[in-house]
Amino acid sequence: MPINPFTQLVFDLFIISAIIITAYTCNFYYLAFLSRKRKDVLSPTDWGTPSITIQLPIYNEKYVAKRLVDSVCHLDYPQDKMRIMVLDDSDDDTVELLANVVDDYKKQGFHIEHVRRGTRKGYKAGALKHAMQSTDTELVAIFDADFIPPAWFLKRAIPHFSKPNIGLVQCRWGHVNENYSAITQAQALSLDFHFLIEQKAKSNSHLFMNFNGTAGIWKRDCIEDAGGWHTATLVEDLDLSYRAQMKGWKCVFLPDIVVDAELPVQMNAAKRQQFRWAKGSIQCAIKLLTDIALKRKVAIEAKIQAFIQLTRHIVYPLMLIQFLALPILLAGQVNLYVISFLPALTIATYLAMGPGAYIMIIQSMYHKSWKSKAKILPALLVYNAGMSVNNTVAVFDAVLGKKNEFLRTPKYGVLKTKDDWKDNAYNLPFSQVTLLEIFFGVYGILGIFVSIFSNNPIFVPIIGLQAVGFFYIAYMSLSHTRFKRNKSSNPRVKTRKEKMANKVYKLSMIGIVAIILFGGFMAIYGYNTDIYPLDRIRGHLDGIVGSSDPAVIRSHLLNVQTDLNLVMGKVPETLNANGEVISKNPVWIFATESTNLLRIQNDVNTMIASIDKISTVPKDSSAYHTGMLDLNSRALILKTNIMDATPYMYVSVANIMFGTIWIAAILGIFAALKKKKEQLKLADETGV
């Protein structure tokens, strides 16, 4: 059956997205193969005790800053060979806290400095660049504020600079609060995939791997040879490590040296981190890919893998394209099964390409403990699906060249499940992206109904998984929102403005929930009254094509007539000069006669008259057979016409107006919350 141009365009986008996503997925499985087959041939050597500078970039981290400095000062390494630089760009209580801690360790004989450059220019990359001006040691180690390096770290990591071309040693991240919540468990599993599959495969081959920004050691000569720290992207670590490898330096990953770190426990903080990584990767792709492609000394496979790593976040907008396209294609009766006569094979293919393959990878990563990790996989799938909106916005920000401040991921010193962080400073309110997540969640509910009523229930789990992800991320973003003045020294003392802001937030939450419920109800009601009658009409037309009984055909035609009357009351009219209705068409811009419901209604009336005449003719006569063939061909044409009209019922004038009002109401709530946020920010700046 021919597909109308709009549906064909949607189908093409769906297939192209599916092909690209599949390619990136298969590449991950290829790296999983490399991580198992290629063994690390490098062995540590006795490199003595070279001089090393440990740089600690910090910005407003009063809950974890002291813990970091304490752990670094407890490293088992000669004090005369170790210099510690606390790169403090903070503008809150962290400054005084670090000044006291640094002063205490100075008195104990440590070579430690509290570096205050008086500006945040360049953010973390700017702080590291500033520190390199006075760094003269052979090695440079970097730790973010939420990391806790073990005492043996330097003695075990430094010997891996076994060859002169090794410029970076990257260690694996541990997760000190992995079991705090489902959010932290999902993040931990995702990071383990990155380190134990991607980093391991690239380290033990000629492929480019990246510095992860912390828990690593650089040769100072490597940093300088690669051009130093650049501030043009949000991921200065990825940028520098690629430039170093283009210069011929080798980066090594050490999976057996684990440095514990604190995972974000607040959803809005996790989203901020994911946003920064996604946008920064695309920024690096724009900045570096041309140079990598033209570099003769870089192997073809390394160039391909560099392209894939730097652009892999485009998978998220492609996921959204598929999510938006799937209900439209199902409503248009487009066959999307892998094998048309085996629908179950479609879901089996999805399971094999996704969860099935990931479980096999988990087995190879964790060995005896793989079952406990496999239980986290559903949470990771929901988490990743829900994050696709947040990361899609990040991708478009990078492509459009939008400038963003480097926003660090706040941490609260949360280690145990009973630790509470919600009354602490640095809590982040939800952003406008949450509105989009709610929209996609509601759209997913509509998509589930479309798949059911179009007789394609096999796609319900696929749509449902993503819809659950959107709602989960949006719900956690809302429920984790707190308004705090970040510079308040006492987190338990709430100002009048904070109390008012939280009151506004609670009322807004009630309003948002009410709007979502009302929107969901209206979406279901609208589908039932606008779209489902057209689905029923197609079913009755199929019944006409498949029947040779005049009474059955007449019954189908009467039902078609009834459903057409239901739909036509919601479709705009076109009048002639005499005020007569000449068209009722859901296609209100560039309408064609094929989707004119008034013409379709007249055709149905003609078919009813025809079947009444055919009923009086003997069944073995040529007139009977000719009449039935004519009815069948008319039914097939009408079915095509109804399929062409169906997608436009979703974008009717009434639906657009309701959607606009619905979005405007949520935007109004966001505006009220933003106003309160700005008031608190002003209070921080003025001290009032």
Active site (catalytic) residues:
89, 237
φ/ψ region of 436 (left if φ > 0, alpha if ψ in -120 to 50, else beta) reads alpha
Going from the C-alpha of 329 to that of each of 13, 74, 332, 643, 679, the distances in angstroms are 11, 61, 5, 10, 47
186 vs 178: CA distance, rounded Å: 9
Chain CA centroid to CA 85, Å: 35
H helices of 582-621, where?
Answer: 597-614
Going from the C-alpha of 1 to that of each of 329, 454, 600, the distances in angstroms are 13, 16, 19
Tokens of 203: 């380290």
Residue with tokens 């209604």: 601
Phi and psi (nearest 5°) for 663? Answer: -65, -40
* Burial of 521 from C-beta contacts in 10 A (0-12 / 13-18 / 19+): exposed
Residue with tokens 């239980």: 375
Residue 411 CB contacts under 8 Å (≥ 6 apart), including other chains: 61, 63, 64, 145, 146, 262, 264, 269
Closest CA to 249 of 230, 221, 228: 221
Strands (E), 310-469: none
Going from the C-alpha of 19 to that of each of 216, 351, 459, 570, the distances in angstroms are 36, 16, 18, 39
In contact, 91 and 118? CB cutoff 8 Å: no
**Helix H or strand E segment including 275:** helix 267-294
φ/ψ region of 4 (left if φ > 0, alpha if ψ in -120 to 50, else beta) reads beta
Going from the C-alpha of 171 to that of each of 147, 242, 578, the distances in angstroms are 12, 17, 81
Please report, as a single letter, which amino acid is at residue 678.
Answer: E
Residue 156 CB contacts under 8 Å (≥ 6 apart), including other chains: 257
Going from the C-alpha of 341 to that of each of 3, 82, 346, 353, 381, the distances in angstroms are 20, 69, 10, 20, 29
